[in-house]
């Protein structure tokens, strides 16, 4: 069973941002957000889950040598997020959220954007170095109607991420461009930032920056 940690930004109604933390409980992202001067918000970190199972929308072959296939349990996890984690969180907060947002890095960024084809619960989305290379995602995105048209989407990518020799993951830049085209065609307000480095460079800071832009968008 995954765990949840909540940081409250104040007693007034504030945006509540949900993230999925791979390493740690999310406190590094919270601290980075405070350090860069994010607008006030509540942060909810989900951690201790199956990263490569719960955040992938359908099964796909593993992309690294000896890696098992991706399990594709995102629909089940999203139902748990909406049906259990969000109500629990809102019961703990001192005021009703101004709105709810979903943010994430890597596969969690993929999950965040994919959610707009499945629910209208999240008004804003932030994706840091999202795994838009995931097999079939771009094809799905351009051929299915979105359930939600978010108020704002914040994206970022490292300037060296597409230089990997991996034939699937090297498509991340091309696939991110396709997502940006889709957002523009759908008239969804958005922003995009290029960060220095590869996929593993400053992930907590990158996600914090994407969240800050999302909150201000």
- Show pLDDT as tens, one digit a residue, over the chain (217 residues): 789 999 999 999 999 999 999 889 999 999 999 999 999 999 999 999 999 999 999 999 988 777 889 999 999 999 999 999 999 999 999 999 999 999 999 999 999 999 999 999 999 999 999 999 999 999 999 999 999 899 999 999 998 888 777 667 778 999 999 999 999 999 999 999 999 988 888 999 999 999 999 999 8
pLDDT at site 67: 82
Count of beta carbons in the 10 Å neighbourhood of residue 181: 11
pLDDT at site 27: 97
Report how far residue 175's alpha carbon sits from residue 182's, in angstroms, rounded to the nearest whole number.
Answer: 11
Contacts with 77 (C-beta within 8 Å, 6 or more apart), sequence order: 49, 54, 55, 111
Q: What is the pTM of this model?
A: 0.96
Q: Residue 129 corresponds to which tokens in the numbers above?
A: 């170095």
pLDDT at site 2: 85
Cα–Cα nearest to 161, from 114, 124, 215, 200: 200
pLDDT at site 198: 84
Phi first, then psi: give them for residue 49, nearest 5 degrees: -110, 180
- End-to-end Cα, the chain, rounded Å: 34
Q: Residue holding tokens 């230089």?
A: 163
Report how far residue 1's alpha carbon sits from residue 69's, in angstroms, rounded to the nearest whole number.
Answer: 21
């Amino acid at each position: 069973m995954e765990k949840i940690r909540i940081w409250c930004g104040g007693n007034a109604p504030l945006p509540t941002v949900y993230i999925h933390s791979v390493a740690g409980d999310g406190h590094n992202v919270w601290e980075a957000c405070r350090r860069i001067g994010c607008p006030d918000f509540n942060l909810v970190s989900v951690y201790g889950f199956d990263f490569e199972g719960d955040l992938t929308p359908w099964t796909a072959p593993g992309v690294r040598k000896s890696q098992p296939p991706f399990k594709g349990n995102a629909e089940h996890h999203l139902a748990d997020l909406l049906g259990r984690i969000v109500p629990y969180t809102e019961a703990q907060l001192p005021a009703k959220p101004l709105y709810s947002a979903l943010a994430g890095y890597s596969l969690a960024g993929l999950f965040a954007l994919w959610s707009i084809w499945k629910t209208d619960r999240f008004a804003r989305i932030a994706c840091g170095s999202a795994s838009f290379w995931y097999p079939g995602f771009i094809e799905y995105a351009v051929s299915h109607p979105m359930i939600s048209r978010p108020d704002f989407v914040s994206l970022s990518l490292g300037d060296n991420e597409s230089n990997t020799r991996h034939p699937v993951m090297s498509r991340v830049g091309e696939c991110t461009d396709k997502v940006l085209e889709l957002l523009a065609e759908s008239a969804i307000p958005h922003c995009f930032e290029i960060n220095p480095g590869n996929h593993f460079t400053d992930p907590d800071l990158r996600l914090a920056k994407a969240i800050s832009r999302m909150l201000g968008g």
